[in-house]
Amino acid sequence: MSLLTEQIGSIPRPAELIDAFAANSAGTLSSDELAAVADRALRDTITRLEATGSPVVSDGEQTKSSFATYPLDGSDQVAADGITLPFADGHTRQLPRLVSGPFRYAVRADSYLRAAQRYANVPVKQAVIAPSALSLLYPEAGIPGYTREEFLSDLLDEAEADVRQCLDAGAHSVQIDFTEGRLSVKLDPSKGLLHSFVDLNNQLLERFSEEERARIGLHTCPGGDLDSTHSLDVDYAELLPDLFRIKAGRVYIQLASEADPRRVLEIAGQHLRPEQKLFVGVVDPIDPKVETPETVRDRVLLAAEFIAPEQLGTCDDCGFSPFADDASTSREVAFAKIAARVEGTALAAQQLGI
């Protein structure tokens, strides 16, 4: 046995791809030309991920406009003026607003997976967005002739199809992005919103068998974007016990950027279920300094004081570029951090004798 290690998600896009997205939106670059640029970026991303020694890779979300709203790309069911998400540095991101039903995904995640599998020589994982995040699309004022209950039923059907098609396509694992978990405590300190999110995500996971759930993971972080976060100021202890109630077989948590990782690990160790594997973040995408393999090793060894090695793995705290226009971290830094994670995890496994 050795320690598991996986990438969380996005890799910064090449400048050529960012420019191509903008040109396509402006009508000066055809869709076929954009697809060619995107394909080059995808192939380069996978080649460079494999060069780090990563045992599992992803598409790096090269062609997603955003990790959160990819199912809506090209959809005519949304308007741009949805909920605004504020970040600590003052910038904001805005979710779309649903304007009509029945709700349907315009894009499914298995399309990204199948594209990546064409170039990968190792297993490929796939990230999908949590239904709890997409539940925020439904407006407070409602939609005439389409109730929230009808929307949530449709949403769960669409989310199930998104996950199931990735499993059927041979994904190594499917990671559900739940970055709104910690933010929900900030928005609603009573935790009623968090509990509704947990219940909705469990309704999705209950549609899968125990064997399937072993390949389905849940990722949480304080929402890294443009070198800032939306909820790092929320006490992790307010989220973690509820996080482990979600019936995913794999749990990925941000940890490298946490002020008191020992305290977080102690709480995680108390609530991690026997059938779950915990992947702890050992590199911080927001920190411009590249971690050394020895730093990663030491972070893993600390985690092993609280989590049994057979349940322990490592990951990045978050994606490096969750929105397509985020160029705050370079590709070179991202790949260097991933290489350090892979090497440092191997060093820790060697020291642990596994």
Q: Which CATH number covers residue 175?
A: 3.20.20.210
Q: How far apart are CA 197 and CA 212, in angstroms?
A: 21
| Domain assignment of residue 67, given as a range | 4-352
DSSP class of residue 231 equals: S
pLDDT of residue 170: 98
Query: Which residues have C-beta within 8 Å of that of residue 59, sequence separation ≥ 6?
Result: 42, 45, 46, 112, 113, 115, 116, 124, 126
> What whole-number distance in Å separates Cα of residue 354 and Cα of residue 346?
9
- Residue 1 is predicted with a pLDDT of 60
**pTM: predicted TM-score of the whole model, two decimal places:** 0.95
CA distance 108 to 78: 17
Q: Per the structure, how many domains does the chain have?
A: 1
334, with CB counted inside 10 A (0-12, 13-18, 19+), is: buried
Share of the chain residues as helix, strand and coil, in percent rounded to the nearest 5: 45, 15, 45
Q: Which of 256, 290, 329 is CA-nearest to residue 11?
A: 329
Q: What is the pLDDT along the chain (354 residues), one digit of tens a residue?
A: 689 999 998 999 999 999 999 999 899 999 999 999 999 999 999 999 999 999 999 999 999 988 889 999 999 999 999 989 889 989 989 899 999 999 999 999 999 999 999 999 999 999 999 999 999 999 999 999 999 999 999 999 999 999 999 999 999 999 999 999 999 999 999 999 999 999 999 999 999 999 999 999 999 999 888 889 999 999 999 999 999 999 999 999 999 999 999 999 999 999 999 999 999 999 999 999 999 999 999 999 999 999 999 999 999 999 999 888 888 899 999 999 999 999 999 999 999 999
